[in-house]
């Protein structure tokens, strides 16, 4: 069972992130914020003077986990409407610019999610894998957003409860199964409220963007330089909307469309995964080991649907006392849609499952859910729901609404439509009302912003990048004609050169440039 709108960077990168132990632990909470950082700027015009201690706090950097990286804990108001009230501890990490060349300040990175650990991403990839000229001139920096990973993480279920949750039938065939699915969503939401009730109302994207501005000031940067992937594009666009005069060189890769309501987001993403699957199927039927036959894409689609139906009726053993049912198999399949390098692994996993061994496909689903071998889970799925359900009103509030929309979703994707429609119900039972709403983001007055879209991106359909680039008053669209989720650092010299030039020289690519 997936959580609504889980927008990820590549499966390979986040699998690494999920397994990485950074050793970056938080310090004890304190209502006091010490000042004194040089180069920090004042709070935004019109903001409460009580925010000034946050903007002028001095971070205490220390070695953590991975050689070459430093960690610190930054204080922020739990509630920006009450900056003299409780605080929240936010984990920050950096790797200083390696030189040579002029230092350009800090480059903040975020891998998406919502719920992906930015610190894990920095230490596993961005801080060591971004192009050398970028790392030479920028301090590479990450902050785990509030409620995520090391920043007072949202918690909801035990490992065993999460195992049960992910196995719940997500394509209910009758009223009884619909009630069981709704009960699973209710239990998930109740667990979040019980374990994380204090932080749950304060993990919105707007609040995370405000935290980014505090960090920018504390680091001594006049403007924010930023690379955000997937959901990170919404976070970056929100920052530009709130602080257009402080938005510097922003790259939004695998863009979301902030103007879409939750139902539209889920339906478009359903279509995106269908596009990605058809690309996989077109490649698969050419391979001698294709588990979906060698006839046509349409036939492959039918075979996969039949396979899911069989698993719905009778799951197959997957080792360790676990079984592979339809929901987990569906998750395993669409996990591979994030990166075409996973296609051979998916073919092998589907062949194994059809032969009665569900372990390989289950392992792919476990990677998606960030389930560890000891049965514990990272907080990705919990934070994902908490942020999504706060940012937008729910797509559906009851099973009847989903049932009436199933055909619409199945039209978008014959393979995934039914599952994705029912997954869209999870925010319908959320214990905290949404504080955000769909709207256009123009960010008038911001410096040029580069929006990157991949034509066959499953999680963030290409048309979303087109829409965001059009909305932003200074948006520039950069297109990658290819497969997989996001484009920067995934093998296209054309894309990488255009983004590197922008980050290092401030020169955006020509609007509409295609790679």
Residue environment code for 359-396, b if the CB has 16+ CB neighbours within 10 A, otherwise e: bbbbbbbbbbbbbeeeeebbbbbbbbbbbbbbbbbbbb
DSSP assignment string, 228-241: EETHHHHHHHHHHH
Separation between Cα atoms, residue 194 and residue 157, nearest integer Å: 10
Tokens of 272: 């995106």
Placement of tokens 């030039």 in the chain? 501
Q: Are strands 322-324 and 316-319 parallel, antiparallel or unpaired?
A: antiparallel
| Measured distance between the N- and C-terminal CA atoms of the chain, rounded to whole angstroms | 35
Phi/psi class of residue 90: alpha, beta or left (left: φ > 0; alpha: ψ in -120 to 50)?
Answer: beta
- Looking at residue 511, what DSSP letter applies? T
Main-chain dihedrals φ then ψ at residue 258, nearest 5 degrees: -70, -10
- Do you find a cis peptide bond into 216, omega within 30 degrees of 0? no
Using alpha carbons only, give the angle 482, 487, 489 rounded to the nearest 5 degrees.
125
Separation between Cα atoms, residue 243 and residue 224, nearest integer Å: 10
Separation between Cα atoms, residue 266 and residue 417, nearest integer Å: 10
Of 106, 117, 151, 230, catalytic: 230
Separation between Cα atoms, residue 457 and residue 255, nearest integer Å: 10
Cβ distance 205 to 234 under 8 Å?
yes
Separation between Cα atoms, residue 159 and residue 374, nearest integer Å: 9
Of 2, 89, 213, 457, catalytic: 457
Of 2, 139, 485, 496, catalytic: 485
Main-chain dihedrals φ then ψ at residue 392, nearest 5 degrees: -140, 145
Task: Judge whether 230 counts as a catalytic residue.
Answer: yes
Task: Judge whether 485 counts as a catalytic residue.
Answer: yes
Task: Judge whether 202 counts as a catalytic residue.
Answer: no
Cβ distance 126 to 21 under 8 Å?
no
* Rg over CA atoms, the chain: 22
Q: Which residues are catalytic?
A: 230, 457, 485
């Amino acid at each position: 069972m997936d959580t609504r709108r889980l927008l990820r960077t590549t499966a390979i990168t986040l699998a690494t992130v999920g397994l990485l132990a950074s050793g970056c632990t938080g310090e004890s909470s304190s209502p006091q914020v010490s000042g004194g950082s040089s180069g920090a700027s004042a709070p935004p015009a019109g903001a409460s003077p009580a925010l000034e201690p946050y903007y002028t706090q001095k971070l205490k950097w220390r070695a953590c986990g991975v050689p070459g990286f430093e960690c610190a804990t930054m204080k922020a108001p739990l509630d920006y409407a009450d900056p003299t009230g409780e605080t929240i501890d936010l984990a920050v990490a950096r790797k200083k610019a390696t030189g040579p060349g002029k230092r350009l300040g800090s480059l903040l990175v975020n891998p998406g999610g919502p719920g992906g650990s930015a610190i894990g991403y920095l230490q596993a990839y961005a801080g060591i894998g971004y192009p050398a000229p970028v790392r030479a001139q920028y301090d590479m920096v990450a902050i785990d957003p509030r409620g995520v990973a090391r920043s007072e993480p949202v918690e909801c279920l035990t490992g065993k409860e999460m195992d049960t949750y992910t196995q719940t039938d997500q394509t209910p065939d009758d009223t009884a199964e619909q009630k069981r699915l709704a009960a699973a969503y209710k239990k998930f939401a109740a667990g979040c409220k019980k374990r994380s009730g204090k932080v749950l109302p304060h993990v919105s994207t707007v609040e995370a963007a405000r935290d980014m501005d505090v960090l920018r000031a504390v680091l001594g940067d006049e403007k924010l330089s930023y690379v955000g992937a997937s959901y990170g594009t919404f976070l970056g666009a929100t920052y530009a909307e709130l602080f257009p005069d402080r938005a510097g060189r922003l790259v939004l890769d695998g863009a979301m469309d902030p103007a879409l309501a939750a139902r539209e987001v889920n339906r478009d993403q359903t279509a995106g995964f269908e596009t990605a699957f058809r690309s996989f199927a077109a490649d698969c039927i050419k391979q001698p080991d294709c588990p979906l036959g060698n006839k046509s894409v349409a036939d492959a689609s039918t075979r996969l649907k039949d396979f899911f139906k069989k698993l719905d009726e009778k799951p197959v053993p997957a080792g360790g006392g676990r079984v592979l049912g339809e929901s987990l198999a569906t998750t395993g399949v669409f996990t591979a849609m994030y990166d075409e390098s996973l296609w051979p692994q998916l073919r092998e996993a589907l062949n194994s499952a059809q032969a009665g061994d569900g372990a390989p496909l289950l392992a792919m689903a476990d990677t998606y859910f960030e389930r560890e071998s000891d049965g514990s889970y990272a907080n990705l799925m919990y934070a994902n729901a908490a942020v999504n359900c706060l940012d937008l009103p729910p797509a559906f509030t009851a099973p009847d609404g989903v049932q009436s929309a199933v055909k619409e979703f199945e039209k978008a994707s014959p393979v995934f439509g039914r599952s994705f429609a029912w997954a869209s119900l999870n925010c319908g039972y959320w214990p905290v009302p949404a504080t955000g709403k769909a709207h256009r983001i123009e960010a008038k007055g911001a410096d040029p912003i580069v929006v990157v879209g991949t034509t066959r991106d499953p999680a963030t359909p290409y048309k979303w990048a087109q829409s965001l680039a059009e909305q932003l008053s200074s948006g520039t669209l950069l297109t990658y004609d290819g497969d997989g989720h996001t484009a920067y650092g995934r093998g296209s010299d054309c894309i990488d050169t255009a983004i590197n030039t922008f980050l290092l020289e401030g020169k955006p690519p020509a609007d509409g440039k295609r790679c």
